[in-house]
């Protein structure tokens, strides 16, 4: 299951990264600030995709969620009040806007699923650590539990 | 160090550090590859020089006297110097309106003389609302209207690009207005053009709804844009708002240019668009010119904003 989530994470990040890279190469590089933001998003997404697929630590998934969430916020701003003086309408440029937003929503969704899946084992793991410590040093644990 | 279940051993710290380093390294390498691909893609299509290069300058407001910029003549001279030092002579320079602040003959004379110092074969202009304060643009037309049609609109072709200059400041109520006569001109002007002709449109007031509450829109622009939708590349450049702003709507891209005089607030910041007085030393960051280049075969124009700093 975790392996599958890793693959999906990598796939959604790669799609979002490649979509931004395509737009950067095909014109967005000329838009002040937005061009830099696009190439940063693309490079970071692709790096996170590779490292998550390679079995990197959990904080990489958090970083992926933060970046995808940030990209979604930036998308929303560019369709409303503007972002660094840049604004676009609806789902333009088509189909890249739809593809990126879908990929980023999926990344955030996968992160949520991964967090939910890991909540139970984490609690169990903490319980196991406490139990091990109690067994190793019963007196000290009693004291700390009274406190 | 390993007492708490959340604390990390030295080995774990090193491991996480390595992952972090790999993340940063790969992100930088990825960014480099993408930038290089963009450069290569452009280099493949760019011959020795772009097909068309021009500069946009806007809202010089010659005659303005206020705290926001006590020396608009000096900053406009600086803008002209910046254009003359681009490293190439632009094919033309466009001034997108508000050449003067109060449309007096002396101000028109001064701005015309100043623009004579531009190292370019052609200087084009469109009027702003400050250029037609009390006479519906008559003094503007006397100074800059030669070769134009109607109330100062015109079009021309250069390097395979069709350029249209529209006047949306002469019949102002709250928003910019083009009027039936000009819309008819536009429809007839673009009718014979093939759809793959790149089109550039200049106007003073934006042709998109940047902030209608402050008059930063043109009420009949939708009609004008309907004639342009069939073209694969349409670029609309405007002044009036004294700040850089970009927006795309399908195949039409709108770019608002900054000013050489004084900045205005961002849309909705405050009750009205009044001149902003910036802290000392910051004014020239907000003023500037725009360099535009077009390469045959490209859909988008490349824009470069240059501040007067």
Give every residue of chain B whose pLDDT is below 50, as ranges. 1-3, 48
B281 interfacial to chain A (CB closer than 8 Å): no
Q: CB A125: neighbour CB atoms within 10 A?
A: 12
Mean of all residue pLDDT scores within chain A = 82
Domain spans of chain B, in order of start? 1-45, 50-307
In this predicted structure, the answer to whether residue A90 has a pLDDT above a threshold of 80 is no
Domain spans of chain A, in order of start? 2-120
Residue B1 is predicted with a pLDDT of 42
pLDDT band at A129 (very low <50, low <70, confident <90, very high): low
pLDDT tens-digit profile of B74-104? Answer: 999 999 999 999 989 999 999 999 999 999 9
The minimum CA-CA distance between B106 and chain A, rounded to whole Å, is: 35
pLDDT band at A146 (very low <50, low <70, confident <90, very high): very low
CB B122 within 8 A of CB B92: yes
Residue B263 is predicted with a pLDDT of 95
Rg (CA), chain A: 21
B13 interfacial to chain A (CB closer than 8 Å): no
pLDDT tens-digit profile of A37-83? Answer: 999 999 999 999 999 999 889 999 999 999 999 999 999 998 887 78
Choose, out of A6, A10, A22, A27, the residue to mutate when testing the contact with B (most B CBs < 10 Å).
A27
Nearest CA in chain B to A51: B23
* CB–CB contact A32 B250 (8 Å): no
Residue B264: closest CA among B284, B254, B278: B278
Phi, psi of B306 (to 5 degrees): -120, 120
Tally A–B CB contacts below 8 A: 104
In this predicted structure, the answer to whether residue A141 has a pLDDT above a threshold of 70 is no
Residue B94 is predicted with a pLDDT of 97
Length of chain B, in residues: 309
Q: Which chain A residues are within 8 Å of B19, Cβ to Cβ?
A: 51, 56-57, 60
Q: Which fold has domain B50-307?
A: Purple Acid Phosphatase; chain A, domain 2 (3.60.21)
Q: Give dist(CA B58, CA B40) in Å, integer.
A: 33
CB B153 within 8 A of CB B146: no
């Amino acid at each position: 299951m975790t392996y599958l989530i890793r693959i999906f994470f990598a796939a959604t990040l790669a799609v979002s990264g490649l979509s931004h890279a395509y737009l950067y190469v095909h014109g967005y590089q000329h838009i002040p600030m937005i061009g830099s933001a696009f190439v940063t998003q693309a490079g970071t997404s692709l790096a996170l995709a590779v490292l998550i697929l390679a079995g990197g630590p959990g904080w990489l998934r958090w970083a992926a969620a933060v970046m995808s969430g940030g990209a979604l916020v930036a998308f929303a701003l560019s369709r409303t009040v503007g972002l660094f003086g840049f604004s676009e309408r609806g789902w333009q440029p088509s189909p890249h806007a739809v593809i990126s937003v879908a990929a980023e929503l999926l990344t955030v969704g996968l992160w949520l699923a991964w967090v939910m899946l890991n909540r139970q084992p984490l609690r169990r793991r903490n319980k196991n650590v406490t139990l091990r410590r109690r067994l190793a040093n019963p007196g000290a644990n009693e004291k700390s539990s009274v406190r | 160090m390993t007492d708490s279940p959340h604390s990390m051993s030295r080995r774990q710290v090193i491991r996480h550090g390595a992952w972090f380093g790999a993340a940063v390294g790969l992100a930088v390498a990825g960014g480099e590859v993408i930038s290089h691909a963009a450069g290569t893609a452009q280099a493949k299509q760019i011959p020795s020089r772009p097909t068309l290069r021009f500069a946009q300058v806007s809202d010089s407001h010659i005659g303005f006297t206020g705290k926001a910029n006590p020396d608009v003549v000096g900053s406009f001279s600086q803008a002209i110097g910046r254009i003359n030092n681009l490293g190439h002579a632009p094919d033309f320079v466009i001034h997108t309106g508000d050449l003067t602040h109060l449309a007096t003959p002396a101000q028109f004379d001064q701005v015309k003389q100043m623009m004579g110092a531009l190292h370019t074969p052609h200087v084009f202009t469109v009027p702003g609302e400050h250029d037609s304060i009390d006479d519906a643009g008559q003094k503007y037309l006397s100074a800059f209207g030669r070769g134009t049609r109607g109330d100062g609109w015109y079009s021309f072709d250069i390097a395979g690009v069709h350029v249209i200059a529209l006047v949306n400041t002469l019949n102002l109520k709250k928003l910019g207005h083009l009027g039936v006569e000009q819309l008819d001109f536009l429809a007839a002007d673009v009718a014979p053009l093939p759809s793959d002709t790149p089109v550039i449109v200049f106007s003073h007031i934006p042709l998109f709804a940047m902030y209608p509450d402050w008059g930063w829109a043109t009420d009949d622009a939708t009609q004008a844009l309907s004639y342009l939708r069939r073209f694969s590349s349409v670029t609309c450049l405007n002044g009036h708002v004294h700040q850089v702003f970009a927006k795309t709507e399908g195949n039409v891209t709108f770019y608002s240019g900054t000013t050489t005089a004084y900045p205005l607030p961002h849309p909705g910041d405050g009750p009205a668009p009044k001149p902003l007085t910036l802290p000392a030393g910051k004014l020239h960051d907000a003023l500037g010119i725009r360099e535009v280049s077009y390469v045959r075969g490209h859909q988008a124009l490349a824009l470069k904003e240059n501040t007067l700093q």
